[in-house]
Amino acid sequence: MSLWKIAWRSIQQRSLASALTAVSMALGVSLVVAVLVIYSVVYQSFHRGGEGYNLIVGAAKGSRLELVLAGVYYIGQPVENVPYSYYKELHEGRLSEHAEVAIPICLGDNYEGYRVVATTPEMFEKLKYMGDQPYRFAEGRNFDADAYFEAVVGATVAAKTGLGVGRGGEADQPGSFRPTHDIAGQQQHKHRPFTVVGVLEPTGTPNDQAVFVNIEGFYRIGGHTAATAAEELAAEHDDEDEHGHEHEHAVPDEAKKVTAVLVSTDEDRSPGITRLMARDINQEKIAQAAIPADEIARLFEKIIGNIELVLLLFGIMIVLVAGIGIMVSIYNSMSDRRHEIAIMRSLGASRATVMQVILLESILLSLGGGLLGLALGHGVVAALGPTIAEQTGFSMGLLQFRGTELILIPGLVLLASAVGYLPALAAYRTDVAKSLTANP
């Protein structure tokens, strides 16, 4: 007959009140858990999105955070582009010494609300995601460098739009599509459509929610190159009248621009080279370089971290209120239980023992509510996971834990001991003789 059992029996005797206080504790704990887990997932997902390359280079105008958000997470649009020549410097020119990989990306169009990213096949051949995971294709293959109007779609795009190899898209040409102007634009480009040749396996990164087209094909679409160069091109050829058909012409480099260049440096062989490259590029004022991990850390520290803190404080307040509820519930029961406590004292239980019983009750209620809250919090995250993954690309599962959750259990025990102290003191002070002779 342990004191735990005695405490548990007392709880059972007041089952409704006990259940209500435990549930209120569970609600508070579940909110704290959900906030911790969601923050952790978002943080990891943001970091994952930026893994695989060390640097992103974009126009000098605008902030580095804007550059990272647009270039890595396809959120927003940088205000300017970078000359194609600068990309070439990174790819094979004076800046290429420590750049193992330099991948250009152009943003600006969309397909059914999903970002169209113009790039080179090297994006999926030389870059990895989540640091060391190679891109794989669930269907088909990567697009060829020479096949200007080939495309690859992310897993979420394929699932949601039905666009894939030989399916979806244009009704008369299944598996083909024409991107629409601008991020949220509705006006389709009037040109030869792109043909999907591959569907990526899910990566858990923003790339799941993008459509990747050959950058050369992108440049051949009207409005994607410098006006001057395009006019010159038109002047050199009297297209359809002379040739009788539309054909793609090589676009000179000076007409091209890129939104950003994703750079993977040889940081492993030359530690610190990434920051040196970033410094050098930033000093030139032609472009700017951002280290995605740094910018994301800053974003989380300055903004998202504060949001998390506010939500956590809110959750902790609920837990504290629930704790006070436990105290009130047990304290209010003390007047009914004086007789019971006096009986235990008369059987030989010391003051300290009855006090322990009350404290154990408080701990059982808090822990019970806390464990329920842990399960509820994770359950809610798991239940919402598919919807959140669908909307944002962040995948969440039932077993996603954050180390900070380990503090919850000892924290609840401490809280329980604190809130249980007052009722326990009332038990301690019970006048045995008087309580025994009073009506039970």
Partner 1 sequence: MLYLKDIKKAFREPDGAALPILDIAEFRVAPGEQMVLVGRSGCGKTTLLQVIAGISRPDEGHVRVNDWDITLMGEAECDRFRAEHIGYVFQTFNLLRGFSALENVLLAMRFTGRRVDRGRAKHLLERVGLAHRTTHKPAALSVGEQQRVAVARALANRPKLLLADEPTANVDAGHQQQVLDLLRETCGEEQVALVLVTHTPEVARQFDRVDNLEDFNRAGKGAA
Cross-strand bridge partners of residue 289: 57
349 binds partner 1 (CB under 8 A): yes
Q: Which of residues 73-92 bind partner 1 (CB under 8 A)?
A: none
307 binds partner 1 (CB under 8 A): no
Compute the half-sphere exposure of residue 16: CA atoms within 13 Å on the CB side of its CA.
0
Q: How far is the CB of 1 from partner 1 (least distance, A)?
A: 4
Residue 334 near residue 426 (C-beta atoms within 8 A): yes
Which region, judged by CB under 8 A, interacts with partner 1, from 63-71, 78-86, 91-99, 347-355?
A: 347-355
Q: How far is the CB of 4 from partner 1 (least distance, A)?
A: 12
Q: How far is the CB of 410 from partner 1 (least distance, A)?
A: 28
In the complex with partner 1, which residue's Cβ is closer, 260 or 344? 344
Q: How far is the CB of 362 from partner 1 (least distance, A)?
A: 17
Burial of 21 (0-12, 13-18, 19+ CB in 10 A): buried
In the complex with partner 1, which residue's Cβ is closer, 3 or 380? 3
Residue 400 near residue 37 (C-beta atoms within 8 A): yes
237 binds partner 1 (CB under 8 A): no
Q: How far is the CB of 334 from partner 1 (least distance, A)?
A: 15
Helices (H) and strands (E) in the chain, counts: 15, 14
Burial 372-403 (b: 16+ CB within 10 A, else e): bbbebbbebbeeebeebbeeebbbbeeebebe
1 binds partner 1 (CB under 8 A): yes
Q: How far is the CB of 344 from partner 1 (least distance, A)?
A: 7
Burial 40-52 (b: 16+ CB within 10 A, else e): bbbbbbbbbbbbb
Size of the site for partner 1 (CB under 8 A): 24
Query: Within 10 A of 172 (CB to CB), how many other CB atoms are there?
Result: 7
**75, 202, 197, 73: which is closest to 133 by C-alpha?**
202
In the complex with partner 1, which residue's Cβ is closer, 273 or 341? 341
In the complex with partner 1, which residue's Cβ is closer, 344 or 408? 344
In the complex with partner 1, which residue's Cβ is closer, 21 or 81? 21
Query: Within 10 A of 146 (CB to CB), how many other CB atoms are there?
Result: 9
136 binds partner 1 (CB under 8 A): no
Contact with partner 1 (CB under 8 A): which of 145, 367, 425, 436? 436
Compute the half-sphere exposure of residue 291: CA atoms within 13 Å on the CB side of its CA.
15
Q: How far apart are CA 209 and CA 75, in angstroms?
A: 11
In the complex with partner 1, which residue's Cβ is closer, 299 or 432? 432
Q: How far apart are CA 331 and CA 6, in angstroms?
A: 17
Q: How far is the CB of 352 from partner 1 (least distance, A)?
A: 7
340 binds partner 1 (CB under 8 A): yes
Which region, judged by CB under 8 A, interacts with partner 1, from 223-231, 277-285, 344-352, 414-422?
A: 344-352
Q: Which of residues 318-337 bind partner 1 (CB under 8 A)?
A: none
Contact with partner 1 (CB under 8 A): which of 306, 350, 387, 391? 350
Query: Max alpha carbon distance in the chain (Å)?
Result: 116
In the complex with partner 1, which residue's Cβ is closer, 134 or 440? 440
346 binds partner 1 (CB under 8 A): yes
In the complex with partner 1, which residue's Cβ is closer, 309 or 352? 352
Helix (H, G, I), strand (E, B) or coil at 45: helix
429 binds partner 1 (CB under 8 A): no
In the complex with partner 1, which residue's Cβ is closer, 243 or 434? 434
Q: How far is the CB of 205 from partner 1 (least distance, A)?
A: 56
In the complex with partner 1, which residue's Cβ is closer, 14 or 256? 14
In the complex with partner 1, which residue's Cβ is closer, 303 or 438? 438
187 binds partner 1 (CB under 8 A): no
12 binds partner 1 (CB under 8 A): yes
In the complex with partner 1, which residue's Cβ is closer, 5 or 136? 5
The pair of three-digit structure tokens given for residue 404, joined into one six-digit string: 């900070």
Q: How far is CA 228 from CA 86, 255, 269, in A?
A: 19, 8, 43
19 binds partner 1 (CB under 8 A): no
Which region, judged by CB under 8 A, interacts with partner 1, from 130-138, 227-235, 258-266, 338-346?
A: 338-346
Q: What is the contact surface with partner 1 in residues (CB under 8 A)?
A: 1, 6, 9-10, 12-13, 339-340, 343-353, 432-433, 436-437, 440
